[in-house]
Structure 1
Amino acid sequence: MNTATITPATGRSASEEAALPPVRWLPSLSVAGVLAALLLAVSGRHGYHLDELYTRAASRHLDWGQIDQPPLVSLVARIETALFGDGLTAFRLVPALLIGVTVVLAGLIAREVGGNQRAQLLATVAAAASGLALHTGHILGTNNFDVLVWVAVCWLALRLARTQDHRLWLVIGVVVGFGLHAKYLLGLLLLSIAVGMLVSGPRRALFSPYLFAGAGIALVIASPVLVWQATHGWPQFEMADALSTALSELSRISFLPMQILMIGLFLSPVWIAGLVALLRRGEWRPYRFIAIAYLFMVVLLLVIGGQAAYAAALQFVLLSVGCVVVAGWARTTVRRVLTGVAIAANLLTSAVLMLPVLPIQTYADNVLLQQLAIVQFDQAGWPELTAQAAAVYRSLPAEDQARAVFYGNHYGQAGALDKYGPAYGLPPAYSGHNSYADFGRPADDKTVVITIGVDRAQFSRLFAECRPAGKFDLSLPVSDLGQEFMVCRRPREPWSQIWPKLRWIGFQCPYTAQAVTATSKEGCV
């Protein structure tokens, strides 16, 4: 007689549940701890990323939303600064911790598809050595929470497919609801998973009442940020349109290289092996929807001109699955050595590209690194920009200094002056870019404006006098290199009337200081 008991919630026997390989908690947590320590060790090098300068300023103007992102990251920045001080390492503590949790989830994903303890450890180590983990764990931004939420949703969806416990939709609803407080892109993952389940199953899960209950939970939790968007005219759609305008052609051209770069050259065979195995292995048919979801997302991103990085979290999941394949393949000493060399090589190359492990001038002097490690230059030059802006300010007569403010064309410039300007005794900095425009505008008695990188023709129409005051000069190939300083005097209208004309929603091209809005005719060049 079969004495195995059946659990009513899952439809699976208790012995079947117990047959899953045990979790290797200590090794997985150790890998996560080492990764977090590495990230924190280099967190203070180079400088703030331009998006972090924006987030730092936004943390002092909290609301239920921003034009270009939900409020969670700014709230975290506010808490970090309050607890640990206004420093770069403190600012990047949460990203290091969150990516540590994410790599632990990589091991759990490997276990969910049947990976033994060796496969789980391999998945954790490979995840920690990926370019996605190093980049996401280094810079505070929406991706910190987004990647964690995407991976968590995929893990829960895989578990749901294995156990047939549809109550997991409720848990997924909670995760999604909180995830929408960090980034709206999560909807793309949900759509892709739905398509994957429709194509390959488990289709019954899509018609479960728990799914609709989970969706209701997600909407309730996310309602504050959704209401903010609705009451502000859904600016996220305008922002998405601007991103598409700016990057569609570039995204399609660079799509395949970015798919390799986000995980890393030497680990790409592993995540590809996971993709192929999900499509071919009969025993993995219940999990095939993950592979379909990834393929659907790739096609969708190519059609709409979306960034290849949007699919990176699904690649991360495929990497975990691929480690189960590799663990079964690496049964000889030679194959184990090859696997170890691939992980070490991926860690080294990804660290050089994604982390500030080399002097910034080394990146500038190497032609290849200049092209591949652009993120390094987005973390450089901000103190120098502020110093040169301060020199322009000090060149003004005392009466002009008393009536002066700064205006940065994009939020990185204004955020840099907000961070480094007090050391020079500089007046406030403003910008009309995205939600920085909501952080305040100059008072009407401020009739002298030192601008950075603005359209001279536009400001000449708004002010009686605008004179050039030099250009930003630096030995590094930062995107703002050569941007013009101007001193504009005597506004033709009060600031309350000027400010709406300066507001713009859009995207700063990563290679130049070119600003792109939804109405732009050209994208990034």
Structure 2
Amino acid sequence: MDTISITAPKKGDASFGTARTGLAVVAVATATILLLYSATPGYYVDELYFRVASQHLDWGYIDQPPLVPLLARLQIALFGDSLIAIRVAPAVLTGLAVLVSGLIARELGAARRVQVLAACASAASLASIAAGHVLHPTAVDHLVWVTVCWLVIRIIRTGDERLWLAVGAVAGVGLLAKYLVVLLVAGLAIGLLLAGPRRVLLRPWLAGGVGLALLIGSPSLLWQAAHGWPQVAMAGELSEGVSGAVNFLVGQVLMIGPFLMPVWILGLVALLRRAEWRPYRAIAVAYLVVAPVLMLAGAESRYTEGLLTVLLVAGCVRATTLARRLWLGAAAVVNGLLAAVMVLTIFPISTYAADPVLVVLGEEQFGETGWPSLAAQVAAVYRSLPETDRRRAVLYAENYGEAGALDRYRTAYGLPRAYSGQNSYADFGRPSDDRDVVVAVGVDRASFSALFRECAVQGRLTFDVPHFEEGKELLVCRGPNEPWTTTWEKLRWTGVF
């Protein structure tokens, strides 16, 4: 028999209930800190892509669903075309995820102080800070996973199965940002089947939730189906094989942070072994199902960050004594400082580049630098062309980061339009046949030159700090051998860089 025994928050005890004010303060503080550091050091490579995709809204793209480009479009319309503007949404969404983390602690029976402490630990995790710093599908996905788990826990605790509709709505929004939410739903379903309570799977409200999720996500799913499911091919490109499996395991240590890792492990063990938490064991089982699947697929370790955050909260709830709370608070502070150094530009970027430790810890920051310099170097080559060539010239970039940077700084440097054949950027347009001069960046010289009558190297990219574009060639090519309609099909490619 599928019986359960649930320990609910204690009514009438002033220490229990929801710490509304405390959780709100932590959530607002988290979003505020993220916004304060949003102006530096520069656009993340994917943000440059989303910015251009926002000018070409569709129900889907080769490499993503439609929600993040739509968020970019709305933020630019509301706040202007700036770095800070497109980072408002991730900061706010992460603040909400921190708030929900505290609510999960409340569902697990935590007192008000511990709810606030759990929210602080969530805010101090590397996963939260990374999700809230840049505009990326992870910013939405992080909140979706945490919220779905909160609602499932609440359904089990309260028996209010109408909340399956809320689960469906949240999962449906998740489908519009990242299809990975399907794996979470499958993991939770397996968890409930194996660990119970199975009765919650036998209610009509669950069917309604599934229907609502599919209804909300259907425009994107239909787009993918109509275009041959390109997202499946992209998933294969993202897989790193055996090396990815090793990196995935290392990432499970780092994703929350080394100082808080013992806490989420404690939460995992407590959910599996603690008698009063038996009804919520499905959450732990879901992680034990999802993590191996992702590891074997060579997927990125951050894909588990939502479940890891829930496990972290469960571990925080075990801080029932003053000594444990003091230890947890100290661990959260140190972990948060380390995560901030790794994600936010706490120090000048030159300091990161010069220090042997910071140059490793600050790897993410280097991906946010150098894009104005890239545009300036391409502009120098463009301006060196004869005026007759400049009137017939276009820019071509091998990847969407380069193309996005050239688009962002196009006006400042007086550049023509930039094109790229990568993923959906190839669908944003191609040159017209009267454009027969190309300034190309990042291409393979041999294969690209074969498409033109003549090509010459005009320089190489250089940067003041470490950058993955360092040393790439700048070419000037003239006279496409075939019309652009034919040439363009040879330049299309799907994958990552």
Q: Which TM-score bucket, shorter chain as reference?
A: over 0.9
1:109-128 to structure 2, matched below 5 A, reads 109-128=104-123
For residues 141-180 of structure 1, what are the structure 2 equivalents within 5 Å? 141-180=136-175
- The corresponding residue for 2:375 is 386
Judge conservation of contact 1:271–1:318 (CA < 8 Å) in 2: yes
What CA deviation, in whole Å up to 9, does each residue of 1:339-372 have, x standing for no partner?
2221110111000001111111222223333333
1:224 and 2:213 correspond: no
CA distance in 1, matches of 2:332, 2:317: 15
CA-to-partner distance for each residue in 1:443-469, whole Å, 9 max, x for gaps? 111101111111112112211111111
How large is the RMSD of aligned CA atoms in angstroms?
1.7
The question of 1:89 aligning with 2:84 is answered: yes
Pairing 1:444–2:433 present:
yes
Q: Say yes or no: does 1:260 pair with 2:249.
A: no
> Sequence identity, in percent?
52
Q: Equivalent residue of 2:50, what SS?
A: helix
Q: Distance in 2 between matches of 1:456 and 1:208?
A: 61
Q: Structure 1 355/178 Cα, relative in aligned 2: closer, same or farther at 3 Å? A: same
Q: CA deviation at 1:251?
A: 2.1
Residues 212-235 of structure 1: CA deviation (Å, up to 9, x unaligned): 221111111111111111111111
Deviation at 1:178, TM superposition (A): 1.6
1:14-163 residue pairs with structure 2 within 5 A? 18=11, 21-163=16-158
1:515 corresponds in structure 2 to: none
Q: Residues 292-441 of structure 1 correspond to what in structure 2 (within 5 A)?
A: 292-326=285-319, 328=320, 330-332=321-323, 335-441=324-430
Is there any run of 5+ residues in structure 2 with no aligned partner, and where?
A: none
Bigger mean CA offset, 208-217 vs 154-163: 208-217
Alignment partners' CA distance in 1, 2:60 and 2:395: 25
Gaps spanning 5+ residues in structure 1: where?
1-10, 509-525
Pick aligned residue for 2:462 from 453, 473, 486: 473
Q: How many residues align?
A: 491
Aligned to 2:272: 279
Shift in Å at residue 207 of structure 1? 2.7
Task: Report SS of the residue matched to 2:396.
Answer: strand
Offset of residue 42 of structure 1: 1.0
TM-score normalised by the chain length of structure 1? 0.91
Residue identity opposite 1:464 in structure 2: R
Amino acid of the structure 2 residue aligned with 1:30: V
The match for 2:241 is: 248
Cα distance in 2, alignment partners of residues 414 and 448 from structure 1: 17
C-alpha displacement at 1:424, in angstroms? 1.0
What is the Cα deviation at residue 17 of structure 1? 8.5
Task: Look up the SS of the partner of 1:406 in the other structure.
Answer: strand
- In the alignment, which residue of structure 2 is the partner of 1:482? 471
- Is the CA contact (8 Å cut-off) linking 2:341 and 2:361 kept in structure 1? no
How many angstroms apart in 2 are the aligned matches of 1:225 and 1:142? Answer: 14
3-state SS of paired residue (1:162): helix
Secondary structure class of the residue paired with 1:405: strand
SS in structure 1 of the partner of residue 235 of structure 2: helix
Between the aligned partners of 2:228 and 2:112, the Cα distance in structure 1 is 50
1:450-499 CA-to-partner distances (Å, cap 9, x unmatched) read: 11111112112211111111110112111111111111110011111111
**Counterpart contact for 1:248–1:307, Cα < 8 Å:** no
Counterpart of 2:322 in 1: which secondary structure?
Answer: coil
Paired letter, 2:385 = L
Deviates more, 1:119-128 or 1:364-373: 364-373
Shift of 1:107: 0.5
The offset of 1:16, in angstroms, is 8.2
User: Take 1:261 and 1:12, find their aligned partners in 2: how far apart are those partners?
Assistant: 35
Q: 1:193 aligns with which of 154, 178, 188?
A: 188
Structure 2 distance, partners of 1:290, 1:368, is: 37
SS in 1 for 2:247: helix
Looking at structure 2, the residues matched to 213 and 392 of structure 1 have their Cα atoms a distance apart, in angstroms, of 59
Shift of residue 19 of structure 1? Answer: 6.7
Cα deviation 1:137-156 (Å, max 9, x = unaligned): 11011111111111100000
**Compared with structure 1, are the counterparts of its residues 306 and 487 closer, same or farther at alpha carbon in structure 2 (3 Å cutoff)?**
same
Query: TM-score, normalised on structure 2?
Result: 0.96
Q: Following the alignment from structure 1 to structure 2, what is the Cα–Cα distance between the partners of residues 278 and 95?
A: 30
1:269 and 2:262 aligned: yes
Work out whether 1:203 is the aligned partner of 2:192: no
